[in-house]
Copies of this chain bind each other. A is one copy, B any other.
């Protein structure tokens, strides 16, 4: 951590600060510049609250050299994390394809979509039971009934199930769910993250609506620091001034996250774009960028889907895409 002092600080006040920094266990190297003095702090700075030091009136600014995340930092854990969900492995060179409808609507729908995506090579089934909707007047999901139907689809196809949790209070309903998803609006719902850290279950953590990579990693750190190492990151598009698409899918996040962390990184091109015909090129691009997997909305009847229909692929479109994705995986291997 680098602390830049303001110009013309009194020597005595500078000495007091240095003493205090040493007292909390840090080493301090002093560089005296033409206008300003710079302190280099050495030791475990991940537990130092930057704003505390910035608040001192003799300090101009503070820059971290080592990242504030530790458990999820690749520097300290160079090996890829591999997460197992039944027979499916995520990360460490394994590629995972999660597919299914935005919302679970009824048994026929979810079972038929599950069969179709399994036939095309998907290895997990997604489907929303609790839906975060901007408007209170829009369909909010089937809740417990939705989870019951997902389990039926799992029984029929053998595919592990992934579904979103929005609220700590609902946790008992998710006991038999394979992967719990945290949506973009809850990426910084820290109480929820802490609780999920106590479950031990695989958590699919989406990037916030306008989240930075550091924030995503700090949210993952909340889960891992609470005792659960099974975190899967997921890029889903960020908010910009984009004029034709809902969000801007940030695929450069994939190789950048792979540098910063050992956790697997998936991409959801469906929510990012909001337009079904843009999903296949973005899914192929995400694969080429090195993603550890994809999460794609597939619906047997998109024009009548209760939620997010415009971004869902038909099963035959998904099937064609899945073949291309496998071919790209071979190219970049």
Residues of B near A241 (CB, < 8 A) are 210, 212, 239-241
Q: CB-defined interface of A1-33 with B at 8 Å, one 1/0 digit per residue?
A: 010100100000000000000000001011111
Q: Does A309 contact B (CB under 8 A)?
A: yes
- Cross-chain contact A218 with B136 (CB below 8 angstroms): yes
A172 interface residue per 8 A CB criterion = no
CB distance A31 to B34 under 8 Å?
Answer: no
B243 touches A212 (CB 8 A): yes
Contacts of A256-298 to chain B: CB distance below 8 A? 256, 259-260, 272-273, 277-278, 281-282, 284-290
Contact B46 A137 (CB under 8 A): yes
Is the C-beta of A300 less than 8 angstroms from some C-beta in chain B? no
Assess whether B2 is in contact with A63, with CB atoms less than 8 Å apart.
yes
Q: Is A49 an interface residue (CB 8 A)?
A: yes
Option from B218, B238, B242 in Cβ contact (under 8 Å) with A212: B242
Identify which of B29, B63, B210, B328 contacts A328 (C-beta below 8 A): B328
Stretch from A83-91, A113-121, A188-196 that touches the partner: A188-196
Number of interface residues of A (CB under 8 A): 109
Contact B38 A2 (CB under 8 A): yes
Q: CB of A77 within 8 A of chain B? A: no
Interface string of A201-224 (1 = CB under 8 A from B): 000000011101111001001100
- Subset of 18 A-B contacts with CB under 8 Å: A29-B30, A38-B40, A51-B310, A55-B312, A136-B218, A167-B168, A169-B191, A186-B189, A209-B210, A210-B210, A210-B239, A240-B241, A240-B248, A242-B252, A248-B248, A251-B251, A288-B288, A324-B332
Mark A residues whose CB is within 8 Å of B. 2, 4, 7, 27, 29-36, 38, 40, 42-44, 46-47, 49, 51-52, 54-57, 63, 65-66, 68, 75, 132-140, 166-169, 185-186, 188-191, 194, 208-210, 212-215, 218, 221-222, 225-226, 238-245, 248-252, 254-256, 259-260, 272-273, 277-278, 281-282, 284-290, 302-310, 312, 324, 327-328, 331-332
